[in-house]
Amino acid sequence: MKNLLILVVLTFSFSVSALGNNIADGKVKIVENAKVEFTVSEGFDLDFILSSGYNDESEKLEFLFDATINMIQVYNDLGELEMVLPISSKKLSLGMSLFDQGNYKIGFVLDNTDEVKYTELLVR
């Protein structure tokens, strides 16, 4: 029983430590590598994103969501709308060829609602 308690405490400690490294400046890093950094605000509903990652071979950000995404809106660093992409799926692949270096705000428009979930993308 003592060993089990120690194991649970150690597991919790490492989990909290790992999560703490993903939070900076009130932002939670979802994907980070040498080419991109995809973040959400600390209060963002993380259950919305079921899985995420960066495919080095195809140079794409790949996502699986818990709800259908109707479209995405991409804003540049100046807040200007750069593109609107129809999605109509729970899966999304964003090719980095769509983006120049810089900061972007991406709004995910959920199907059958007016709700938009905003994220940030830094392309290095």
3 pLDDT above the threshold of 50: no
CATH number of the domain that residue 108 is part of: 2.60.40
Residue 13 within any structural domain of the chain: no
DSSP, residue by residue, 18-45: HHHHTEETTEEEEEESSSEEEEEETTS-
Q: Domain of residue 101: give its range.
A: 26-123
- What digits encode the pLDDT tens for the residues 8-58? 444 444 444 444 456 667 899 999 999 999 999 888 888 889 999 999 999
Residue 18 within any structural domain of the chain: no
- What digits encode the pLDDT tens for the residues 64-91? 999 999 999 999 999 999 999 999 999 9
Burial label for 116, CB within 10 Å (0-12, 13-18, 19+), is middle
How many domains does the chain divide into? 1
| Cβ proximity of 63 and 91 under 8 Å | yes
Residue 61 within any structural domain of the chain: yes
Residue 30 within any structural domain of the chain: yes
Residue 91 within any structural domain of the chain: yes
Residue 15 within any structural domain of the chain: no
